[in-house]
């Protein structure tokens, strides 16, 4: 069994390769050459003794410290495995990833474990690749401006991959609660990608957009051709009626694509019900997205849309089963809650590259 550290993963795969691998696995999904069961979510509880007032007796109180998601997948005649990914907000205080992930790959013939791979970067990369593919097929042909909510690795990878596929983009707005985080991200983006325009590099203007100035944020949202939401927010990031209604935006002249990737639980959502109900809605995985707040709330709590509001999966878009059109009354939303076919396909490619380059640690656990 090969163990591949998180620090080696990024060395083994380029952004272009991530995009290509993920597009290919969505094509396989359209041909029914994958198996992807529903994920299992396990809340991780910690029992904390609490002292009752005016009593010497202690009571046990359960506190959820995080969640673990178990996501298996089979790519027919290629690979099989499972990703175990967690959401542990307090990890930030410990200098650890808040979304730690590990992928186990098994041999397609014997079922024995082939590899254990640190998958935090893979999770970010495959998610951004899905959004970049949606941009390729669903966004306007020559977008010039994107607006990104978030300043984490997920935001960085979204910006880098979208700019790879859409070189017409000249301006990027980044919104985050902490300006310092955005400043660091902008420096990193420029240093690692030569977005300064020097020596033949691409000239891109990056702007911080945050704080309590809602009018400025709304103005930049109206200006944008693509909006990415990559946050851990529990509440909608903007009011859809203020920036996305046909009264303030002509979708025939300026089509809009929103890539919403941050929420995966019924109580979390980055987009409000107006935005979802007035959109052409495409998802990566129907079952996963149905339990995200973007769909769970308007379907199960507000009863303003049904499951049929989902027009198709991203694999349907790529295969041509779903024919995308824009109209004057709606926007297009690509909602991603994560699908394990992307994880396993990306991890398998990294595993093969690691073998070719003699990277990783071999351990025989079957002795």
DSSP-assigned letter for residue 63: E
Judged against a pLDDT cut of 70, whether residue 55 lies above it is answered with no
CB atoms within 10 A of CB 111: 9
52 pLDDT more than 70: no
* Averaged pLDDT for residues 170-183: 93
Q: What confidence score (pLDDT) does residue 282 get?
A: 97
Quote the pTM value.
Answer: 0.91
Residue 15's pLDDT is: 97
Query: Is the confidence at residue 219, as pLDDT, over 90?
Result: yes
CA dihedral 96, 268, 35, 153 (to 10 degrees): -40
State residue 328's pLDDT score.
47
Mean pLDDT of the chain: 91
3-state SS, residue 254: coil
Residue 184: pLDDT over 70:
yes
Residue 177 has pLDDT above 90, yes or no: no
Is it the case that residue 329 has pLDDT exceeding 90?
no
Paired with 3 in beta bridges are: 116, 361
Label the pairing between strands 361-362 and 2-4: antiparallel
The average pLDDT across 17-39 equals 97
In this prediction, residue 51 carries a pLDDT of: 56
**Which phi and psi (to 5°) does residue 338 adopt?**
100, 130
Give the percent of the chain with pLDDT over 70: 93
């Amino acid at each position: 069994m090969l163990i591949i550290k998180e620090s080696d993963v990024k060395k083994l795969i380029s952004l272009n390769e991530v995009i290509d691998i993920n597009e290919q696995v969505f094509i396989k999904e359209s041909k029914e050459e994958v198996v992807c069961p529903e994920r299992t979510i396990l809340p991780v509880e910690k029992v904390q003794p609490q002292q009752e007032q005016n009593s010497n007796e202690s009571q046990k109180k359960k506190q959820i410290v995080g969640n673990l998601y178990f996501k298996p997948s089979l790519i027919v005649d290629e690979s099989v495995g499972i990703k175990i990914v967690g959401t542990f907000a307090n990890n930030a205080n410990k200098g650890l990833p808040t979304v730690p992930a590990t992928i186990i790959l098994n041999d397609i013939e014997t079922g024995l474990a082939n590899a254990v791979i640190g998958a935090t970067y893979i999770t970010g990369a495959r998610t951004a690749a899905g959004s970049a593919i949606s941009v390729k097929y669903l966004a306007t042909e020559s977008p010039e401006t994107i607006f990104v909510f978030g300043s984490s690795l997920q935001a960085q990878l979204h910006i880098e991959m979208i700019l790879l596929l859409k070189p017409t983009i000249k301006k990027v707005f980044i919104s985050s609660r902490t300006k310092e985080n955005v400043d660091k991200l902008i420096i990193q983006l420029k240093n690692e990608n030569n977005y300064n325009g020097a020596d033949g590099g691409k000239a891109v203007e990056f702007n911080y957009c945050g704080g309590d100035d809602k009018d400025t944020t709304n103005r930049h949202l109206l200006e944008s051709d693509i909006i990415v939401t990559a946050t851990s927010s529990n509440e909608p990031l903007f009011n859809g009626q203020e920036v996305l209604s046909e009264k303030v935006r002509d979708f025939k002249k300026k089509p809009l694509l929103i890539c919403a990737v941050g929420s995966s639980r019924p109580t979390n959502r980055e987009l409000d019900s107006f935005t979802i109900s007035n959109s052409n809605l495409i998802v990566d995985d129907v079952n996963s997205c149905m339990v995200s707040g973007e769909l769970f709330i308007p379907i199960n709590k507000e009863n303003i849309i049904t499951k049929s509001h989902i027009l198709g999966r991203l694999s349907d878009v790529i295969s041509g089963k779903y024919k995308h059109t824009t109209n004057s009354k709606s926007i297009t939303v690509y909602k991603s809650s994560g699908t394990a076919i992307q994880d396993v396909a990306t991890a398998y490619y990294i595993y093969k590259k690691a073998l070719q380059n003699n990277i990783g640690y071999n351990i025989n656990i079957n002795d």
